[in-house]
Amino acid sequence: MTAWINLSVNGGPVEVEVDPMRRLADVLRDDLGLTGTKIGCNAGDCGACTVRIDGRQACACLVPVAQAAGADVRTVEGLAPVAEPTGFADLAALQRAFLEAGAAQCGICTPGMLMAADDLLERDPVPTEAEIHDGLGGVLCRCTGYRKIIEAVQASAADVGSSPPPTGPAVGSRLPKVDGLERVTGAAAFGADQRPDGMLVVRAVRSPHARARFTIGDLGPLRERHPGLVLVLTAADIRGQNRYGIYATGKDQPALADGQVRHRGEAILGLVGDEATIDAISDGELPITWEPLAALADMDHALAADAHQLHDHAPANILIRGRVARGDVDAVRAQPGLVTAEVDVETTFVEHAYIEPEAGHARRVGDRIELFVSTQTPYMDRDETALVLGLRPDQVRIIPSAVGGGFGGKLDLSVHPLIATAAWLTGRPVRAVWTRPESMAASPKRHPARIHAWAAATPDGDVVGFRFHGDFDTGAYASWGPTVANRVPVHATGPYEVPNVLATTRAIHTNNPPAGAFRGFGVPQAAIAHEALMDDLAARLGIDALELRHRNAIRAGSRTATGQLIRASAGLPACLDALRLQWARLRADAATFNAVAATRGSALRRGVGIGAMWYGIGNTSMTNPSTIEVGLDRDAVVTLYSGAVDIGQGASTVMVQIAADALGVAPAAIQLVSGDTDRTADAGKSSASRQTFVSGNAARLAGEDLRRQLLRLAEVEDTAAGDATIELADGRAIITEPNRPAVAIDLAELPAVGATDPGATPVLLGRGTYDPTTTPLDADGQGDPYETYAFGAQLALVEVDTELGTVKVVRMVAAHDVGRAINPTQVEGQIHGGIAQGLGLALMEAYVPGRTENLHDYLIPTVGDMPEIECLLIEDAEPAGPYGAKGVGEPALVPTAPAILGAIHHATGARITTLPATPDRVLAAIHAVATAGS
């Protein structure tokens, strides 16, 4: 039943004929085309759909449109004073402040955040931080750590205006995101933001069982009941290989299960039809017969002698083992006079909880298929989709949508196989948008880890032996399990030079959801172990915990556990030096606080902890090249063709900054084509913290190549200082060298040259390819797995309620050696976001297979959970890096949980090693310490 509903939207009258119970969010997006209002959960948990209704913020997904009848509805599209903003000057002060502060990363939460802030500022033009917490508390952000959002709201309240564009070198400047405008206006098209004409939708039918066999009965009656059901996809419809996966030897995940499922949430059918039909079909009317089987719920069950084996290629359910061995740990164990420490760590599944669920659409174009999808890895998606469809890779085009957060979770295929297969078979565009429960059931997770580690040090404090073993629950399919198993042993010692090391790992299959890539590939779990050991050793040795880390820190000239000689850019000592004063001051303050609290009978106790990290940039011992192109056309327009997908981390801005300096033009002179596999060369995955270092080098080489070509045409020799200037205007390039007349090149007279983009007609094209120098690891894990490493250390100040077990992180100080901060605002944003996710890992995040379904019972940090954060950027330039840069995306997260756990220990004497440190665990640990001491 429909009815006519009248309302005002962004100041204009609107009349729609809809079901009165239809969600306002759907009416805005689907009926009115206002896709600036995003949907992250459809349950009022994430706040991405926040709009203003008669002035007050509300989740549009919870409001039936009838309830908004006669109301004044404001969306992000109505925020700017002009209808179609094209620049800073067209924006509202709040939007400008978000851009200036770097408050929008991926941008999926930004419209909701802006509307909540708009509401707040109208009621309270100069809000305090606590009032901002209240005002924005209903909107979740998974990227920014909220600090820059708070900063932006405060700046907007003060209306400080925009800073002028940088005039000097682009590298090192705080250039606002080059793709920021569309994020603060709601114009960025995320995976669910396009609805092609004539489209069908596909919905996966998923297993309610962790392990089962199934049969599908007669689908005829279902088709008769639902004439709009165009197709029911089964495993038999998969045209190519019904097994995909990251590694050539690990292609084990079916697009549609064929008779048996290995985890809850695995897809078995794809229902294809018009939207209303597919919505109307309930799982209960499907002719599926299930035979549930005993499932392996955890690693103990998977390793039991009588456990069933999930895959032929994983005997005893062990997918892969990792190993690094150096020196003789057994000899160290037998050595008298050493001080030793030992720890057991257990972590759980962690959900990426990006605010944008998996989404996209596919269309068949002749004998090719085009996918518009949310992805971190377009070329890998292209190849995997081709495999599933039985096509050549060049028959598949991946057009990345704006990505509403990835963190590793969008490195695996998601909607791709079903939308592509359905579009291929029907010849019509096919769209899929995963629901939040579907995303939580079917997307990969952070690996739960069970780690035992031991370390020994001389009485002087030299760590001389380290033994580590970690088991990782890799779930039902391989995904990125091999990467975790191989990366962890390399990093197991932490950022310390230890001569005798044995580090081993196993990735173990269970009937849990696949565990894959998640910001750090297992290194954050390992860091909890090595940092607990360092704290324990320091206490036993009577050496300050920061100084013990400094003494053992890997530095230039050190050899790592894999035998790699670190030649340069190893800034951990500098990071620790930068933290030293605050370390002493915060601990002294905590001691004073605790003394006063004890006097007053308060249950609150404060503590300060430290965590240190290192992280190899790029793939482990594997080629991972990037290629970038920069074209100059007849109109003197420079176009950067970058396949380095921006998932919110700022890759697009970084590539533009680097290319601009390499070429010698202003960033504003460069237009960007990003990520389309038909238009950009392969720049690899946006993962492993590799884009700044690897693709950044490619962008630098491409810019330099184009500059060289231009200068050669002008017969100008560049100096090392790059004194020659390039001016581009009116179809001409004007090259000026000191003390010589300018030379003008008429670009229209040059013939067009080829580029990866078949539609491009540059007259000059610079091309750069960079592949980090690595070597394979031998059987003992010896070799050079990465060309460079990031280093960092963080301090955490926490307040523990020793009666309730609650932990409040009060302050974080983060020192990170990033080589060179290409864009300090973005580097800080990455550090803030990493700390937020590290805080979640430490204190609250736990995904329980089969139980966790939404963002209501899966807790991630809100704005009110975030502490003050001080960032200290250490620039120990990497000689091989673009302008010295390395990477910071994953490094920012790694030391946070260890620092917080160390701080809890400092405050209470209780060492939490089973994560997350929920109040019940904290209380139990405090009681255990009290009992042991009584």
What residue ranges bind ligand FES (CB under 6 A)? 104-110, 141-144, 355, 405, 648
Which residue(s) pair with 359 in the sheet?
433
Shortest distance in whole angstroms from residue 859 CB to ligand FES: 16
Shortest distance in whole angstroms from residue 603 CB to ligand FES: 35
In the chain the first and final C-alpha atoms are separated, in Å, by 71
Q: Which of 405, 514 has the CB closer to ligand FES? A: 405
Q: Tell me how far CA of residue 484 lies from CA of 319, 684, 785, 910, in angstroms.
A: 11, 18, 14, 29
Shortest distance in whole angstroms from residue 149 CB to ligand FES: 8
DSSP 826-852: HHHHHHHHHHHHHHHHHHT--B-TTT-
Cβ atoms of residues 103 and 147 within 8 Å: no
Whole-number Å distance between alpha carbons of 451 and 389: 40
Q: Which of 156, 510 has the CB closer to ligand FES? A: 156
Which residue(s) pair with 473 in the sheet?
508
Q: Is 640 helix (H, G, I), strand (E, B) or coil?
A: strand
Shortest distance in whole angstroms from residue 103 CB to ligand FES: 8
Q: Which of 133, 213 has the CB closer to ligand FES? A: 133
Which residue(s) pair with 270 in the sheet?
204, 233
Q: Which of 144, 512 has the CB closer to ligand FES? A: 144
Which of these, 749, 718, 751, lies nearest to 733 by C-alpha position? 749
Cβ atoms of residues 770 and 690 within 8 Å: no
Q: Tell me how far CA of residue 253 lies from CA of 8, 266, 328, 481, 545, in angstroms.
A: 48, 10, 40, 13, 45
Shortest distance in whole angstroms from residue 148 CB to ligand FES: 9
Shortest distance in whole angstroms from residue 183 CB to ligand FES: 8
As a 3-state breakdown, the chain gives helix, strand, coil percent values, each rounded to 5, of: 30, 25, 45
Length of the chain, please?
934
Q: Tell me how far CA of residue 674 lies from CA of 174, 179, 775, in angstroms.
A: 21, 10, 31
Shortest distance in whole angstroms from residue 353 CB to ligand FES: 9
Could you say which DSSP state residue 473 is in? Answer: E
Structure tokens belonging to residue 804: 């309730």
Q: Which of 648, 838 has the CB closer to ligand FES? A: 648
Task: State the Cα torsion 856-860-864-867 to the nearest 10°.
Answer: 170
Label residue 427 left, alpha or beta by phi (over 0 means left) and psi (-120 to 50 means alpha). Answer: left
Q: Which of 48, 694 has the CB closer to ligand FES? A: 48
Q: Which of 322, 648 has the CB closer to ligand FES? A: 648
Structure tokens belonging to residue 120: 């707040």
Q: Which of 142, 323 has the CB closer to ligand FES? A: 142
Shortest distance in whole angstroms from residue 405 CB to ligand FES: 5
> Pairing relation of β-strands 463-475 and 500-509?
parallel
**∠455-456-461 over CA atoms, to 5°?**
120
Q: Which of 178, 612 has the CB closer to ligand FES? A: 178
Shortest distance in whole angstroms from residue 819 CB to ligand FES: 25
Q: Which of 149, 612 has the CB closer to ligand FES? A: 149
Shortest distance in whole angstroms from residue 388 CB to ligand FES: 29
Shortest distance in whole angstroms from residue 152 CB to ligand FES: 12
Shortest distance in whole angstroms from residue 833 CB to ligand FES: 8
Q: Which of 435, 862 has the CB closer to ligand FES? A: 862
Number of other CB atoms surrounding residue 576 within 10 Å: 24
Whole-number Å distance between alpha carbons of 335 and 338: 7
Shortest distance in whole angstroms from residue 40 CB to ligand FES: 8
Shortest distance in whole angstroms from residue 230 CB to ligand FES: 35
Amino acid at 334: A
Shortest distance in whole angstroms from residue 112 CB to ligand FES: 9
Q: Which of 106, 638 has the CB closer to ligand FES? A: 106
Which of these, 115, 508, 68, lies nearest to 314 by C-alpha position? 508
Q: Which of 184, 724 has the CB closer to ligand FES? A: 184
Which of these, 299, 301, 302, 300, lies nearest to 315 by C-alpha position? 302
Structure tokens belonging to residue 887: 């990477």
Which residues, 6+ apart, have CB-to-CB distance to 907 below 8 Å? 590, 594, 605, 606, 607, 798, 799, 800
Q: Which of 326, 832 has the CB closer to ligand FES? A: 832
Shortest distance in whole angstroms from residue 50 CB to ligand FES: 12
Structure tokens belonging to residue 693: 């270092």
Whole-number Å distance between alpha carbons of 107 and 141: 9
Q: Which of 174, 452 has the CB closer to ligand FES? A: 174
Q: Which of 142, 551 has the CB closer to ligand FES? A: 142
Which of these, 126, 137, 120, 106, lies nearest to 56 by C-alpha position? 120
